[in-house]
Amino acid sequence: TDGAIQYVSELEATSAGLIEVRPEGVYMGVDHFSVLTPGEGRRSLRIHSRNAYNAGLFVARIKHAPSGCGVWPAFWMYGEDAEHG
Distance CA 62, CA 59 (A): 10
Does the pTM surpass 0.75? The reply is no
- CA 54, chain centre distance (Å): 22
Q: Please give the residue that has the higher pLDDT: either 45 or 81.
A: 45
Tens digits of residue pLDDT in 23-74: 988 888 878 888 888 888 888 888 878 888 888 898 888 888 777 776 777 7
The answer, yes or no, to whether residue 16 has pLDDT greater than 80, is yes
Which pLDDT score is estimated for 48? 79
